[in-house]
Amino acid sequence: MSTEPTDNRPWYDGITRYQWLVLAIASAGWAFDIYEGQIFNITRNQMLTEILGGESADVAKYGDMFLGIFLLGGTVGGLAAGSLADRYGRRPIMIITILMYSLFSGLTYFATELWHVASLRFLVAMGVGGEWAVAASLVAEVFPSRARAQASGIFHATSVLGTWMAALAGMAVGAQWRYAYLVGILPALLILWVRSSVREPEQWQAKKSQAATSDGGTQLGSFKDLLFSQPWGKRALLGMGLAAVGLGTFWAVTIASQDLVRELLIGEGVDADTAEQKAKFAYGIVQTAGGGLGLLSFGPICARLGRRPTFIIFHVLALIIVPVTCFVPQTYGQLIWILPLFGFLTLAMHAGYAIYFPELFPTHLRATGTSVCFNGGRVLAVPVLFFSGWLKAESGMDLRVAISSLGTLFLVGVVLMLFLPETKGQDLPD
């Protein structure tokens, strides 16, 4: 792969109107992706308490179990969508995935049984997991290499908007959790925008034409070619492990700040309802603001230092901040001050997946490889979720100790990056 000559222009100089449009559409789809995932985190206590018939010790257990189901659904949908996007194009698969998560989110309004919730969360996740891989590949292919890290970082950083929407919706509806899922129907309107505005990247069109005229040489979206051809197979497996670290710690550690805040407030004598609302605010607004800054910062730091050093630095800092957040703050006010830094350091690396994974694979395997990394990481993260639920709810371990123990997973990310290539300044593999 060749590298571009040094270019001292601002990264956004020369970016076309169409490129900005693609970034806007991809970002809007991803923001609503996050809304669909986070609205369950925000409302799950009210939802499960109602469905289980009142206060129940099983709320925490089923909450983490349904998060595991969500990760599995995202994996199935993501792997399918990635391969289909390489075969049939980015635009039609993006439309299908958006429609899927919008429809099944809206149907959650009618859920009255645990199996309803489990099934619908799985189906919503299929759409969510699929849309990310397609959108990340599209942004990477449309932007030039000198602007790719920043654009992909912005794309992933818009997840903050989805979290804020979920937090505000959760606080607005209170115990009437069902209405928050009706909001999830809105992304279906994006389909009109995608159909009228997005066209297939030139790289993909060229590869599609090449595959059509070749005699079995180039297989678009082939899992066999991805996993059994080097170096793509090695990169896919290592990328899966890297994503598993980030996703596992996100669901088990990053969002656990809600529980830290709730426990601290209840220990101070605050009533349960007030503690619940303040916990939503602390996580959904305050911490997420710090997380958003981290996501926006990751791209420029990657562009300056390189992908590998940036990932390693953030994993080390995340490893440090988790026990600090768990044990240093002694009051709600102190915890509120440290949560933005906690969000910044534990969430920032997620922008790196949108930047880095599409750069690891050639055009005919890009969405497939990106999806295998990110959504295959979901599968590896599922045991973390189930273990996290047991550790927090049934082991008898202090919550702060449990979260700090789970935070040691960041060390695995440091090790994995030692075996992955640097892609700074390189053209996308063809």
Q: Which residue ranges make up each domain of the chain? A: 17-201+220-417
Range in 76-85, 279-288, 289-298 with the lowest mean pLDDT: 279-288
Retrieve residue 425's tokens: 């300044």
Cα–Cα distance list, 290 to 54, 159, 293, 317, 324 (Å): 35, 12, 5, 14, 16
Kindly report the average pLDDT of the chain as a whole number: 89
Is 380 in contact with 252 (CB distance < 8 Å)?
A: no
Q: What is the pLDDT of residue 127?
A: 92
The residue type found at 1 is: M
pLDDT band at 287 (very low <50, low <70, confident <90, very high): very high
- Please say if the pLDDT value at position 129 is more than 90: no
Kindly report whether the global pTM for this prediction surpasses the value 0.75.
yes
Whole-number pLDDT of residue 1:
43
Scan for tokens 């953030």, then name that residue: 314
Map residue 426 onto helix, strand or coil. strand
Is residue 47 within 8 Å of 177, Cβ to Cβ? yes
CA angle, 56 as apex, 260 and 255 as ends, to 5°?
A: 25
First to last CA, the chain: 9
Q: How far is CA 33 from the centre of its chain?
A: 8
Tell me: cis bond preceding 231? Omega within 30 of 0 counts: yes
Q: Give the side-chain half-sphere CA count within 13 A for 202.
A: 5
Instruction: Give me the phi and psi of 253, to 5 degrees please.
Output: -120, -55
H/E element holding 272? helix 272-281
Count of all residues that appear for the chain in the document: 430
Angle between helices 58-88 and 90-107 (to 10 degrees): 160
Q: Determine the Cα–Cα distance for residues 414 and 318; give it in Å rounded to an integer.
A: 11
d(CA 412, CA 238) in angstroms, rounded, equals 11
Asked if pLDDT for residue 3 goes beyond 70, the answer is no
User: What is the model's pLDDT at position 215?
Assistant: 62
CA dist 228 → 187, 207, 223, 235, 423 (Å): 37, 20, 8, 11, 22
416: tokens are 């994995």
CA-atom Rg of the chain in angstroms? 21
Confidence band of 420 (pLDDT split at 50, 70, 90): very high
Task: Confirm if 362 and 429 have CB atoms less than 8 A apart.
Answer: yes
Burial (0-12, 13-18, 19+ Cβ within 10 Å), 119: middle
Q: Return d(Cα 403, Cα 413) in angstroms, integer.
A: 17
DSSP-derived 3-state class of residue 290: helix
Query: What is the pLDDT, as a whole number, of residue 44?
Result: 86
pLDDT score, position 288: 87
Q: Which two tokens stand for residue 407?
A: 């935070």
| Mean pLDDT confidence for 52-81 | 81
pLDDT tens sequence across 182-202: 888 888 888 888 888 899 988
Helices (H), 9-57: 17-51
Query: In whole angstroms, what separates CA 53 from the centre of its chain?
Result: 32
**204-224 pLDDT, tens digit each:** 888 888 877 766 566 888 999
- Cα angle 403, 408, 411 (rounded to 5 degrees) comes to 155
Q: How far is CA 320 from CA 30, 219, 407, 410, 414, in A?
A: 29, 44, 9, 9, 13
Do 372 and 82 contact (CB within 8 A), yes or no? Answer: yes
CATH number of 17-201+220-417: 1.20.1250.20
Question: For residues 338 and 290, what is the distance between their CA atoms, to the nearest angstrom?
Answer: 10
DSSP annotation of 328 reads S
pLDDT over threshold 80, residue 400: yes
- Has residue 6 got a pLDDT over 70? no
